[in-house]
Structure 1
Amino acid sequence: MDEKAIFLLRRKRTIRVAIVLLGVALTVILISLNTGTIRLSPTSVLKALIGYGTAEESMILYEYRLPRIIITMLAGAGLGIAGAVFQGVSRNTLADPGVLGINAGAAFGLIAYISFFRSLDGPAALMIPLFTFAGGAVIALVIFLFAYDRYRGLLPIRLILVGIAVSAGVSAMTLLLSLRLDEDTYAFAARWLAGSVWSRDWVNVWGLFPWIVVLIPIIYYRSATLDLFTLGDETAASLGSAVTRSRLILLALAVALSCASVSMA
């Protein structure tokens, strides 16, 4: 079997898997719209979606369940794609935003946000991705500086090791700052750090949505570079790829996507 046939076979298999996973996702969404303290029948959900439901059904669907489902979908897509970029750039299947310390930096940014605003509610929530992005970007910059070699560029193995070390240090700083908060604010911060979409509403959806719809297409446009990285830096460079520049751009995009997703989930 030649390479073209293998490529077409893999492409068909990928499409089939994607269709199956899309069906699973849609099924889970429909089940989630039905599930809760107050159960809504599929008929009630459908009526509420097209504007013919009762006031109570519309409130439950549009003010509580739908925003949280959308936040979960957006954040999941963002973290998944960011993780794929980190794995491709580092050539390590264990790499993800958590291992590289990006999530820890985003958490540090959120603690700084809470110190000033103390809330995830209202228009101020639109600032959350900016704070988490700033925290993640600063930590990412520190990691990149330590992992960079002036002769060989950004080294993947050093990126992983430095990321683990910096993540541990930043997590300790985040814990120290969170212990200085009052009881109610600390409880709020602890819930967020554990991961939750509770109390998220449409303001949070609109806070995350632009980051997802802008950054994911850009990453997809540059995704062919990730395939070159799997061949090794020397081979990628011989094929015309600016290895260090491309790696930094993809990492910056993945950091932004990861931090924005972490900020809401």
Structure 2
Amino acid sequence: MIHQALIRRQRLILLSFAVLILLTVFVSMGLGYSKVSYGRIIPTLLGNGTFKERFVLFDVRLPRIIITVLAGMALALSGSILQSVTRNDLADPGIIGINSGAGVGVALYFLFMPIDAGTFAYVLPMVAFGGALATSVLIYLFSYKRHAGLQPVRLVLTGVGFSMALSGVMIVLISSADREKVDFISKWLAGNIWGADWPFIWALLPWLIVLVPFVLYKANKLNLLALDDSVAIGVGVSLTKERLVLLLAAVALAASAVSVAGGIAFIGLMAPHIAKSLVGPRNQLFVPVAVLIGGWLLVLADTIGRNVSSAADGIPAGIVVALIGAPYFVYLLLKKI
């Protein structure tokens, strides 16, 4: 039974972060190489802007902003699942190899497959999912012991090893590629939000529409999986089945996000931790908060990256997130020791 005061606290925090996202989005829409007056943003959104204002907002800035919010939400939800399933607070799709697997899939597709501009945005998440899924299956097999089942700590360590190995594979792949393709993959690895167009939004949005309610539906199972195996088995949870299903959901969320937002790590690590510190460890409470925090963190990082550098593309959002996330990861690691 969740205390009513805690539920009210969660709702207030959800409202606060929703407002924070809207404010950050509003600020982001007015910033950039082609500035739009803040007094003209609302009229332009309502259809009363000039051609330039409509072009800057609807064709350049708004798709990128929406992509960053959705990708941040997906990565935060993926990290929330992984931390509960692995019972490891340091789990994150970027740290344990899922992002690297998706990246290798994207690189293979981009380098060696014929690309159709009309279907590229919709095929890419599936390719990333295939690469991430293949990597996750291998990590799972190496982490599984026949008589002891899945070992959460072993899974994280194996994932870190696979992440390093796949980074090496990526370097080998791009070492003999064309300059244009190498530039694209390099930007992807740095976490540059490149899928900044409306088709990429429609490619990413269905994953969230389906998987956010699904994960909330599985919240009680996640609470039990976060406990000792004997406790979960004692209340009738099928450990192998539930872990596989939820890991598959985490893989799908991470792969769909990084396929359009690049190799971004640490969002899935930080957002769940911040949410747990605000509303506690129950998945019913912290998962919705983590989703909003993830969306806000990534859109904030992208807004900062676009505007603090004079370079054409600014600083990739993945680098801005890493500058915050790496020290946070070390802090969490020191707490564990």
Q: TM-score, normalization: structure 1?
A: 0.93
Structure 1 residue 13: Cα displacement: 2.2
Pairing partner for 1:259 from 251, 255, 260: 255
Counterpart position of 2:60: 64
Aligned equivalents of 1:178, 1:120: Cα separation in 2: 21
Structure 1 residue 123: Cα displacement: 3.1
- Mark the runs of 5 or more structure 1 residues left unpaired by the alignment: none
Label 1:260 to 1:64 Cα distance change in 2 as closer, same or farther (>3 A). same
Range moving further from structure 2, 211-220 or 62-71 = 211-220
Aligned equivalents of 1:122, 1:52: Cα separation in 2: 30
Aligned equivalents of 1:54, 1:122: Cα separation in 2: 29
| 1:196 alignment partner AA | N
Aligned equivalents of 1:231, 1:87: Cα separation in 2: 12
Label 1:120 to 1:180 Cα distance change in 2 as closer, same or farther (>3 A). farther
1:235 correspondence with 2:231: yes
Range moving further from structure 2, 40-49 or 114-123 = 114-123
| 1:107 alignment partner AA | G
Aligned equivalents of 1:236, 1:8: Cα separation in 2: 26
Counterpart position of 1:17: 13
Aligned equivalents of 2:20, 2:200: Cα separation in 1: 25
Contact 1:123 1:203 in 2 (8 A): no
Contact 1:118 1:185 in 2 (8 A): no
**Structure 1 residue runs of 4+, over 6 Å off?**
none
Aligned equivalents of 2:113, 2:43: Cα separation in 1: 38
Report SS of the residue matched to 2:3.
helix
Pairing partner for 1:220 from 183, 206, 216: 216
Contact 1:117 1:124 in 2 (8 A): no
Pairing partner for 1:29 from 14, 25, 42: 25
| 1:67 alignment partner AA | P
Label 1:72 to 1:147 Cα distance change in 2 as closer, same or farther (>3 A). same
Report SS of the residue matched to 2:79.
helix
Pairing partner for 1:170 from 166, 170, 175: 166
Contact 2:143 2:155 in 1 (8 A): yes
Aligned equivalents of 1:199, 1:145: Cα separation in 2: 33
Structure 1 residue 10: Cα displacement: 2.5
| 1:61 alignment partner AA | L
Contact 1:211 1:260 in 2 (8 A): yes
Contact 1:119 1:125 in 2 (8 A): no
| 2:254 alignment partner AA | S
Counterpart position of 1:152: 148
Aligned equivalents of 2:215, 2:195: Cα separation in 1: 30
Between Structure 1 and Structure 2, whose CA radius of gyration is higher?
1
Structure 1 residue 30: Cα displacement: 0.6
Q: TM-score, normalization: structure 2?
A: 0.74
Structure 1 residue 7: Cα displacement: 2.9
1:137 correspondence with 2:130: no
Contact 1:88 1:226 in 2 (8 A): yes
Aligned equivalents of 2:71, 2:41: Cα separation in 1: 24
Counterpart position of 1:186: 182
Counterpart position of 2:97: 101
Structure 1 residue 42: Cα displacement: 2.6
| 2:22 alignment partner AA | L
Counterpart position of 2:74: 78
User: Kindly, what percent of the aligned residue pairs are identical?
Assistant: 37
Structure 1 residue 124: Cα displacement: 1.6
| 2:198 alignment partner AA | W
Aligned equivalents of 2:87, 2:195: Cα separation in 1: 38
| 2:62 alignment partner AA | L
- Mark the runs of 5 or more structure 2 residues left unpaired by the alignment: 262-337
Contact 2:125 2:203 in 1 (8 A): yes
Structure 1 residue 14: Cα displacement: 1.9
Spell out, residue by residue over 1:103-154, the C-alpha distance to the aligned partner (whole angstroms, 9 max, x if none).
1101101101111358796532221101111100000000011111222221
Contact 2:194 2:260 in 1 (8 A): no
